[in-house]
Structure 1
């Protein structure tokens, strides 16, 4: 039996993504990754995709930075497949110790991301992971914040990308997405 490719697995994974019209506001079609986690077959498929992609990244990254909140579900899996540590990038006030922070602008508001400084004592090649790339604001801010610590973000990884929102255009490093809408 032939092994499936990342592309074939990604197509199968897409069938596990649920869509909710008019959530959280009228006119928005919300794509929900949680159904993947609610289904053992979907979760195994996601794990297999991450494992296969880790082979492509092996030796190219030293750490996985996972974005709050759904990136926290993906970061540990990817870090284990890469045999590297993972660190959280969180909203302001959620991390103890010395933190670096960056204020950034969302579509209708401002927010602040933080990361613990001591985890980047040595310059590291970072993979940033999250579930979704939409407008790109949070991912762009996380990359800038991590680079400000002396680390070097070399790759971004998302499970889903909303291509019409053109978030990828804001990101100046390679972005891998498995599912595009």
Structure 2
């Protein structure tokens, strides 16, 4: 059994405001992130993502950073992190991010019109973060070549699908009776 699947099946579940949330090294940094798990994920992303002609990887802070950094190191594609901190730079674009359990402002810097980007994230759950990021990149005029989320939590609202964006995933899961259930071991597309 691959490490991603095994690690998800062993993930503890917590409840936050009625939202059943799995605690996983990729999405939370705990329990410890084993390098072999990260390596497996990076290899799977590189195999699944459309990387031709990508100028830059773009990822939302914080939990997309470790995945995107590893992909950047393996592909030599530069990385830009969308931050929750405002810097006030000339090209800064503010976006509102709403997930199943939080609401924040995020800020995109140093992504230009016409730039071809790969968007990477850890988890696609409600789609609030990715939908906001993809809409902001459209507004900037960047060309999103591909979007990949490592884990998709199915069974609820998905703002990314509702907005017409296409996101590839590595594995799709649900939380049923306090346990992670694997819905699709291959993810989407």
Q: TM-score, normalised by structure 2?
A: 0.74
Q: Please say which of residues 141-150 and 18-27 is displaced more in the overlay.
A: 18-27
Inter-CA distance 45–133: structure 2 relative to 1 (3 Å threshold): same
Give the equivalent residue in structure 2 for 1:147: 138
Q: TM-score, normalised by structure 1?
A: 0.77
Give the equivalent residue in structure 1 for 2:77: 84
The count of residues paired between Structure 1 and Structure 2 equals 167
Question: What per-residue deviation string (whole Å, max 9, x for no partner) do you get for residues 111-158 of structure 1?
Answer: 212111xx2345112111110000001110011112222212232111
Question: Could you tell me how far 1:72 is from its partner in structure 2?
Answer: 0.7
- Superposition map of 1:97-116 within 5 A: 97-98=89-90, 99-107=92-100, 110-116=103-109
Inter-CA distance 26–123: structure 2 relative to 1 (3 Å threshold): closer
- Superposition map of 1:1-181 within 5 A: 11-17=2-8, 18-24=10-16, 28-32=20-24, 33=26, 34=29, 38-54=33-49, 57-93=50-86, 95=87, 97-98=89-90, 99-107=92-100, 110-116=103-109, 119-167=110-158, 168-181=160-173
Aligned mates of 2:163, 2:75 — CA distance in 1: 23
Gaps of 5+ in 2: 174-189
Aligned mates of 1:38, 1:12 — CA distance in 2: 11
8 Å Cα contact 2:113-2:140 kept in structure 1: no
**Cα RMSD for the two superposed structures:** 2.7
Highest relative contact order (Cα 8 Å, sep 6+), 1 or 2?
2
8 Å Cα contact 1:64-1:128 kept in structure 2: yes
More helix by share: 1
